[in-house]
Structure formats: structure tokens, C-alpha cells
Structure 1
Amino acid sequence: MNFIKKAGLIVQIIGYLVAGTNHFRNQASYLRIIPPYIPYPSVVNIISGILEITLALLLIPTKTRTYSAYGIILLLVAFLPVHIDMLINAPLQLGTLTVTPTLAWLRLLLQPVLMLWAWWYTRKE
């Protein structure tokens, strides 16, 4: 694995570990962005956090990396309604962060980039 791909993998692992942990540390912010039509937002938040942490850890072993990368892609697809809803409701306040329409657009447009980044780790060397 070349240096850039390996460094990107490490960044992704750390990023999803931090994001997953954040679901438990800042529950109120995540509950605020879960659209009202999604039932049991607290449970959805907890499951999302557990999945992000688990998928991050499964990126580490080469045997599970491809499955984990596809799982991350599916998780990012599942998060699209949240990002679309944030865009519709922007501006909104999440703790100390104000999500402006521009920031909401950037977050939404980042999703395909993150999906492609995860997909990169499904490719054999």
C-alpha cells in the first residue's frame, strides 16, 4: 500500500472513531439534526455511533477492510436524509456551531467524497 493510501486509511480510521464517539459525547447535537420523521432518534443516534466505531475498527485488518469500506458507504448513504434536512433547515444551531446554508451544502457535498474515499479501500493492490 502506497504512503498516501495508507495515510488516508489512518485518517479515515481516526475520523470515524472520533465521529462515532462524538455520538455519545454530544448526543444533543446529533438528536437535533435527526429528521422528525425518523423514529426513535436516541436509538438511531446510539446505533450510528456504534456502527461508526465498529466500521472504523474493521478498517484496520486487511481481511475485513473491504467489508468495512462498503459498510461505511452504506452508512453514509443512510446519513443523506440528515444532511438534506440540515440544508432545508439551515441556518440552525448545533451547540456552539451555527450551520449556515453554505456549511450545510458543504457537508452534503462532502458525502460523495467520503463514499469514494471509502470505496478506494475496496480496491485490491
Structure 2
Amino acid sequence: MKIFQIVVIFILAFLMLAGAFNHLYTPETYKEFIPDFFPETLAHILSAIAEASVGIALLIPKYRKWGGLGFFLLMIAFLPIHIWDLTKDLPAIGSKLSAYIRIAIQFLFIAAGWWIYKTYRLKP
């Protein structure tokens, strides 16, 4: 199971770092996910910082457990955005089916973050 957990950790770290990069270099990708009342530039900066921090923490064994917790909390924080997207006539992610699938994946991400946090043993 240790190899499987490390593979999952590296995949999630890659996704977080890629998301952080994407928020800064192609922010239009996320435009439809940001509520009108929230400043768009601030949303991109905060998301990039949070995602990069979590991604880096997942890569460093000393901080990996806390990276799992950060990932868990970040995925919970992003869940309402994906639910809100589902309620639109035309979801930003594409079709209604895509929005449902994205929410299901979000719950898998939440579970993965919790799993990493609860099972990863810090080395003394």
C-alpha cells in the first residue's frame, strides 16, 4: 500500500502545482468558476498560493501529512464552487453530466486528502 499511497500523493501534488501555475498563466480557464462578487485577480492569487503550498507540502516527506490535511481542506473549500457550477444552465466545466462527474471526483479528492492525513506517518 505504501507504493500506491506515494503514487497518489505525487499525482495530487502534480495536480496542485499545475493548478497553481494555471491560475497565474491562463487565468481565463477559471473565469466562470469565480463568483461575480469576488475580485478575480485576488481569487487567482489566493488559489495559486494555496494550491502551490499544498502541492509542495505533499512532495516534502516532513510536511506530507499536513499537505494531506491542506488538500482535504482545500477540496472542501472548492466543493461549493463546483456545486454552484452545477446549478447553472450551462456549467463552466461543460455539460451537466461533466459537472456531476466533477463533483463525484471532488468527493474522491476529499477522501484522498483525509486518507493521506490519517495514514501518513511522520518520521521522527
TM-score, normalised relative to structure 2: 0.85
Moved over 4 A (4+): none
Percent identity over the alignment is: 24
Number of matched pairs? 120
Q: 1:112 aligns with which of 85, 107, 111?
A: 107
Matches within 5 A, 1:6-21: 6-21=6-21
CA separation in 2, counterparts of 1:90 and 1:99?
10
Tell me, which stretches of 5 or more residues in structure 1 are unaligned?
none
Shift of 1:59: 0.9
SS of match in other structure, 1:89: coil
Tell me the C-alpha RMSD between the 2 structures. 1.8
In proportion to residue count, which structure has more strand?
Answer: 1
Letter paired with 2:22: N
In proportion to residue count, which structure has more helix?
Answer: 2
CA separation in 1, counterparts of 2:72 and 2:102?
15
2:59 match: 60
Matches within 5 A, 1:1-125: 2-37=2-37, 39-92=38-91, 99-122=94-117, 123-125=119-121
SS of match in other structure, 1:35: coil
SS of match in other structure, 1:91: coil
Mapped contact 1:24–1:49 kept (Cα < 8 A): yes
Tell me, which stretches of 5 or more residues in structure 2 are unaligned?
none
